[in-house]
A and B are shown apart, each in its own frame.
Chain A
Amino acid sequence: MKKENAICFKKGMQHGIPISLGYLAVSFTLGIAAKNAGMTAFQATLTSMLVNASAGQFAGFNLVAAQASYLEMALMILVTNARYLLMSCALSQKLSPDTKFYHRLLIGFDVTDEIFGVSMAYPGKLNPFYTYGVIVVALPGWALGTCFGVLCGNVLPANVVSALSVGLYGMFLAIIIPPARKNKIIACLIVISMLASFLFAKLPVLSSISSGMRIIILTVVISGIAAVLFPVSEEDKEPTT
């Protein structure tokens, strides 16, 4: 490894520490969700090592619990992780054009909200070794937390599990609410999405649609209409970090 790359790697590891600690706490509730879906600690930890996506895994575990079809699973992951498509597009502009192909393959393995955020904040063009440093510290936190969640989820008293199970929702709110404060369209979309989701869950006929399909249908329809009615200009675009 070149000396410059080693320095970048070390810096990435430092920046990975707070991310890893946050992951540890949040993925604990993910482990509880996996356990509720009937998965073993090994299966849940393996999923966390390979996927590292809160919303995607959470939705995925729900589908495992519901014994959904494989196609439904693929569509669900596609929709819940669609934001990474946008992030990877942005990240591709951050890489020097002559970045080697295998670096692109490796960075693509772990584009998350947080790792994307720190990578984009890297001064100038991104050195892939910086991102690798973040990943080697952050990803084990995510995997360990999930593992603990499965193993300790049923040792904990019911009220503690009840409290921890809102952790992920809290995290989702922390992702969507701050941009809504600056952008009225996003704020309206969030309210409309929650109302529509509530109606789909409660109304007769509509409530027979599985929660997985409900998320896919509402996401595609509401985002699609918003994209046509309120196309985003480059100025009011906020990074989703």
Chain B
Amino acid sequence: MEHNVYIYIFIMAGVSYLIRVLPLTLIRKEIKNRTIRSFLFYVPYVTLAVMTFPAILESTNSVWSGLLALIIGIVLAWCGKSLFQVAVFSCLAVFILELFL
């Protein structure tokens, strides 16, 4: 079955909007259930970690440059560098290493 790109875009936009707007409009009081709160709290970390690895190894021309980007990214983020700096230096690390591979 051929899928329509604009339907994909509509779904992405619609679901994203509902997620963002429903709590703002419906839930005027704080969520009390501790398990749901905890689940929502852990979700971003797990989902971003799963998305990052091992995909980062396959995103570059060489596994080794991907691995270096991962290490550089973790070290810089650990040291509290900004989102922008971590992103840029990960890219630079790949670029420089691939000059030598």
Which residues of A are interface residues toward B (Cβ below 8 A)? 21-22, 25-26, 39, 43, 46-47, 50-53, 55-60, 63-64, 67-70, 73-74, 77-89, 91-93, 95, 97, 101, 104-105, 107-111, 114, 158-160, 162-181, 186, 189-190, 193-194, 196-198, 201-202, 211, 214-215, 218-219, 222-224, 226-228, 230-232, 237, 240
- Give the CA-CA distance A163 to B5 in the complex, in Å: 27
- CB of A164, distance to nearest CB on chain B (Å): 6
Q: Are B44 and A175 within 8 A (Cβ)? A: yes
Q: Are B51 and A59 within 8 A (Cβ)? A: yes
- Give the CA-CA distance A64 to B53 in the complex, in Å: 20
- CB of A142, distance to nearest CB on chain B (Å): 13
Which residues of B are interface residues toward A (Cβ below 8 A)? 2-3, 5-9, 11-13, 15-17, 19-25, 27-28, 30-31, 34-56, 59-61, 65-66, 69-70, 73-74, 76-78, 80-92, 94-95, 98-99
**Chain A contacts for B24, CB-based, 8 A:** 88, 91-92, 95, 104-105, 107-108, 111
9 sample A-B contacts, Cβ–Cβ < 8 Å, listed by A number: A89-B23, A97-B28, A101-B25, A166-B59, A169-B69, A169-B73, A175-B44, A176-B45, A226-B39
Instruction: Given A81-B19, A166-B69, A224-B39, decide whether A89 and B31 contact each other with a Cβ distance below 8 A.
Output: yes
Among A69, A108, A169, A197, max chain B CB count under 10 A is at A169
Instruction: Given A84-B16, A111-B20, decide whether A194 and B50 contact each other with a Cβ distance below 8 A.
Output: yes
Candidates A73, A190, A219; contact of B11 at CB < 8 Å:
A73
- Give the CA-CA distance A158 to B61 in the complex, in Å: 8
CB nearest neighbor in A for B8:
A64
- Give the CA-CA distance A89 to B39 in the complex, in Å: 14
Q: Are A173 and B21 within 8 A (Cβ)? A: no
**Chain A contacts for B50, CB-based, 8 A:** 193-194, 196-197, 214-215, 218-219, 222
- Give the CA-CA distance A50 to B53 in the complex, in Å: 27
